[in-house]
Amino acid sequence: MSLTRKLLDVVQAHESVTPYEDFADAAFSVLALALSTLPPHEREARLVDVEDLGVLRQAVRKFPSARSSPYPRAGNGHAA
């Protein structure tokens, strides 16, 4: 099983009032830590990918939950 799949399983199994927000915060910290350990030239290239080329935004769009729905949403995020 890949590291990505294992991490996604952890998110789904995590019991919290805001599990996805908690995981997003943790993932952001892990990403920052991982980038900080790269050699400067490689770190800058990866940051350009994320900031200027929209690589992170493209990755988010791969997940169904990030796609907009044709149905209106109530204030709680559920279909109205």
pTM: 0.59
> Which one is predicted more confidently, 74 or 55?
55
Q: Is the pLDDT reported for residue 61 higher than 80? A: yes
Give the separation between CA 41 and CA 58, rounded to whole angstroms. 23
Average pLDDT over residues 52-70: 80
> Which one is predicted more confidently, 31 or 22?
31
Instruction: Return the domain boundaries, the chain.
Output: 3-64
Give the separation between CA 29 and CA 20, rounded to whole angstroms. 14
Q: Is the pLDDT reported for residue 79 higher than 60? A: no
Average pLDDT over residues 57-75: 73
Average pLDDT over residues 41-57: 92
- Region at 77 (left for phi over 0; alpha for psi -120 to 50; beta for the rest): left
Give the 3-state secondary structure percentages of the chain, helix then strand then coil, rounded to 5.
65, 0, 35
